[in-house]
Structures are given as structure tokens and as C-alpha cells.
Amino acid sequence: MTFEPWEIEIHGRRVIYRMAGSGPPVVLVHGMLNNSRHWEAVAARLSDRYTVIAPDLLGHGESAAPRGDYSLGAHAASIRDLLAAIGIDRATFVGHSLGGGVAMQFFYQFPQRTQRLALISSGGLGREVSPLLRGAAVPGASALLWAAAHPRLLRTLRGAADALDRRGSSSGEYLRAFARAVRPLEPPGARRAFVRTLRSVIDVRGQSVDASDRLYLLSCMPTLIVWGERDQTIPLPHGRRAHELIPGSRFATLPRAAHFPHLEDPGGLADVLGEWLATTQPVHLEDREWSSLIAPGARGHRRLRRVA
């Protein structure tokens, strides 16, 4: 399997995406501080039956990092434009962390283009989030992020993680994950894009965007929720609660994974995704069906109330 990057210019900006395989399209949406390359091990396992597309979100990976809008809606619209440009009308969406929020927003904005939805350790399902992410949202965090991403500190962290491994401590795993997470922040444009993306969904109190009031809309959509059992970034109960709120959804946990199942247990995640894809049918929502979801029982304007 080749998972090489492709470049396209959309609205005058460089957009990078990776694509592999053939068959029905499956779009993999990464989270903050990740990029399309981090999906490679999962894509390799799915590409024998599906066309796998993984974009670098704006401000991430090798895509452009312009000054501008980094909200969930903006990221969703950028993915819509990319898929339109490469000739894909509808697809199954798999989103991790922030990417889960982007995938849910894509479904909300473009339901006719969404066939199935998988949420992996997803954001947007509750307020709680790790103190590290809350702290990164405070004023002045950009300077601290620059310090955290300094190459010398990253080398020190990796060395400390190796030392902890030799002592049999599990803490080395978390140091290594932190070093891996902040490394993409070395370029100034990447730090600016990260902070703007983060502040669009997180403040000092936690996640500020919550899709819970609209999860009922997924009753018509084959939906899978997967969580790492050791996740210390977004709590596992968020996934369980979302599963309860989405009729007909499936729920799975991965004992070996923390917050990055596609990196920590790509085989386990690919197995869960593959089984779900093989045993569900993609849907194609029409406008009239969307209307019945958001206003069930309404006919014409009869449910509208006159404002005095």
C-alpha cells in the first residue's frame, strides 16, 4: 500500500491529503497535533476494501496555516471542498478527538454527503478534558507552547521516557506521548493555528462545544463509537453516554489504547472499524428526510408560532 501525500490548491491555499486503496470511500479525520500520516497503519488495513482518504486539516501537517477561521465548521467546509475537488460526493467519516468533532459537524452541515460516522475518542461529547489542554487555552499559552516544542526539551523528554521504561514504570509512555504531541508546534504558523483551533472548542473550564443536544439526529446514521480504555485526555464516560443517546449506535473499547488508538493499537482499531464497515450499509439522506429529523411531525409551517 502506498500512502504518499498529494497536494492540491483550494481557495489559493495548499491542502495536503493522503489516499490509498479502492472501493467505497472512507475519510479519516485526525485530531489536534496530528496529521494524515498518523493514520497510515489503520489505512493499510482498510485499503484492501475501501478507498481511504486522510486530509491534513488546515494548520496541521503540511497543509497551509493561514490566519483565519479554525472552527469546526471551517474545517468541515474545507473537507467538503477537498472531496468535491477530487470527485467524491459521499463518504463514511471516521474522526479522532478534534476530528470527531469535525466529523460530527460535517454530518450536521452536509448530511447528504455523509454515509456513516465513526467517532474515536471524540471531542464534543462533554465538558471534561485534560488539564493540559485547558491550560493551553489560556492567554500567553503560545509562548509556553514554543518552549515545550524546543528540540532540546523534546530530546530530554524522550531520554527520561526511556529511563522510566528501563525501570518498569508506565509513566514513560505519557512523557513520550507528550513529546510526540508537541513536536509539530515548532513552526510559528503551526502554533498559531493550534491555539486558534483549540480555543474554538476549549476554554479554561473544559470543552466549550457539546454536540449532545443534536446526537438524536444520528438515529438514521450508522454510528460507531470507539474509546481507548486508558484515555486520560477525554474521559471514557463521554463515549458511553453518547452511545446511550444515539439509537442503534455501536460502542467498543480498546484495552491497549489511551487517547490515540490509531497509533497505540492500530490493529485493534482497524479490526473494529472493518467489522463495522462490513456489517452496516451506507445511507443517503435526502432533504425531506433531514427535515423530518429536525422537525418530526411538522407539515409546512403549522408548527411555527407567531412572534408578537
Which are the catalytic amino acids?
Answer: 97, 231, 259
CB atoms within 10 A of CB 250: 17
In this structure, are residues 247 and 217 in contact, taking their beta carbons and an 8 Å threshold?
A: no
Which H or E run includes 263? helix 261-264
DSSP for residue 9: E
In this structure, are residues 5 and 20 in contact, taking their beta carbons and an 8 Å threshold?
A: no
The helices-and-strands tally (H runs, E runs) of the chain is 12, 10
Tell the residue number behind the cell numbers 491555499, with chain if given.
13
Tell the residue number behind the cell numbers 467517532, with chain if given.
119
First to last CA, the chain: 63
Q: Which three cell numbers stand for residue 46?
A: 482498510
Beta bridge partners of 16: 7
- Torsion angle, alpha carbons of 93, 264, 130, 69, to 10: -40
